Amino acid sequence: MRRSADHRVPPAAPVERGAAFGEEPLTDQSTAPAADRAARDLHAFIAALPKAELHVHHVGSASPRIVAELAARHPDSKVPTDPEALADYFTFTDFAHFIEVYLSVVDLIRTPEDVRLLTYEVARELARQQVRYAELTVTPYSSTRRGIDARAFMDAIEDARKAAEADFGTILRWCFDIPGEAGLEAAEETVRLATDDRLRPEGLVSFGLGGPEIGVPRPQFKPYFDRAIAAGLRSVPHAGETTGPQTVWDALTHLRAERIGHGTSSAQDPKLLAHLAEHRIPLEVCPTSNIATRAVRTLDEHPIKEFAAAGVLVTVNSDDPPMFGTDLNNEYAVAARLLDLDERGVAELAKNAVEASFLDAAGKARLAEEIDTYTARWLAA
């Protein structure tokens, strides 16, 4: 989900932090102690597993700690600076409230130094979860429209990217996405920023489209995607998150999508599933996000099982993790439960993300090998 002030996503039921919402429970009440131990072991395995994250939003990754730091810089904001008060602030009563909180965080990103701080600190959180490689979805239009100079914005994210790689060993790459609700003007500005040789950042690998799907048909963005693809960027639009499978077909046909953000409704169309499987077009699945936005009613009804059964390349991602009370490790735990995976199965899931990533061949081979070595050591211990 790319955040916007659009409220056409069905209103969510009250959203709570913690067990009811994000944290995957270790067991249900009927589980025997041995199974409980196995679940704990699997969580520990996931926590230290080297991973790639392919669908996570820049501003949507601002944890309460990062938000507190930004809020302290801008005392005129109504966002609390005290971490405890922030925990309450991040407890959403409904989807409209979530949007309000999200936009108040957007309002804290006012200077290039704010952009740099956010980016660097997001990388720190990714590194803590053993994320070795992340494609971070950035919406430069939100910042340039608010008066941040485009050159300064690019310098800020690039500076943070290089510092994060040196300090944490986490490789960051960018996906610049069009905020769909802002229309073709935003598309024009985003493609300009992504393809102008004087501005385009070194870490940029892909071009996306987020925001609401209802009332924002994908085909109108074809000329912008054509330009981005001609400039060497990969196409990764959100599609089929809040609308039906036709939106995914549109993303494939008109936007030449190489991966699909969410693609949740693909499960309603067996032909589409077969097409995704045959052409190895990965889905960026974000289970907890789908529940939070009511794209899917409950985790147990999540179509990830149908995707896997149809042979689709499934990747697991976190979308806007702190806002949904989750993180990538928790999303892996959720997926492991839904797909009934053991350590080997979870390692394969992590390798799916490596395969679906836009790392070069050598980078993919290195990360896949690191996952294999880690898994072999874990199983031998």
> Do the Cβ atoms of 178 and 251 come closer than 8 Å?
no
Mark the segment that binds Zn ion (CB under 5 A) among 30-38, 116-124, 226-234, 311-319: 311-319
Minimum CB–partner distance for residue 317 and Zn ion (Å)? 8
Q: Which is nearer to Zn ion, 45 or 92 (CB)?
A: 92
Minimum CB–partner distance for residue 105 and Zn ion (Å)? 15
Q: How far apart are CA 349 and CA 335, in angstroms?
A: 9
Minimum CB–partner distance for residue 85 and Zn ion (Å)? 28
Minimum CB–partner distance for residue 241 and Zn ion (Å)? 7
Q: How far apart are CA 204 and CA 190, in angstroms?
A: 12
| Active-site residue flag, 165 | no
Q: Which is nearer to Zn ion, 1 or 353 (CB)?
A: 1
> Do the Cβ atoms of 288 and 234 come closer than 8 Å?
no
> Do the Cβ atoms of 276 and 263 come closer than 8 Å?
yes
With CB under 5 A, what is the number of residues at the site for Zn ion? 2
One symbol per residue from 77 to 116: x for binding Zn ion (CB under 5 A), - otherwise; what is it?
----------------------------------------
Please count the CA atoms within 13 angstroms of the CA of 104 that sit on its side-chain side: 21
Q: Which is nearer to Zn ion, 3 or 364 (CB)?
A: 3
Minimum CB–partner distance for residue 238 and Zn ion (Å)? 6
The structure tokens 């520990």 sit at 44
Query: 125, 241, 258, 284: which is the annotated catalytic residue?
Result: 241
One symbol per residue from 314 to 353: x for binding Zn ion (CB under 5 A), - otherwise; what is it?
-----x----------------------------------
| Contact set for Zn ion, span 31-50 (CB under 5 A) | none
Instruction: Of 196, 199, 263, give the one whose Cα is nearest residue 236.
Output: 263
Q: How far apart are CA 157 and CA 164, in angstroms?
A: 10
Amino acid at 339: L
Instruction: Of 182, 176, 180, give the one whose Cα is nearest residue 218.
Output: 180
Return residues touching Zn ion (CB under 5 A): 1, 319
Name the residues annotated as catalytic.
241
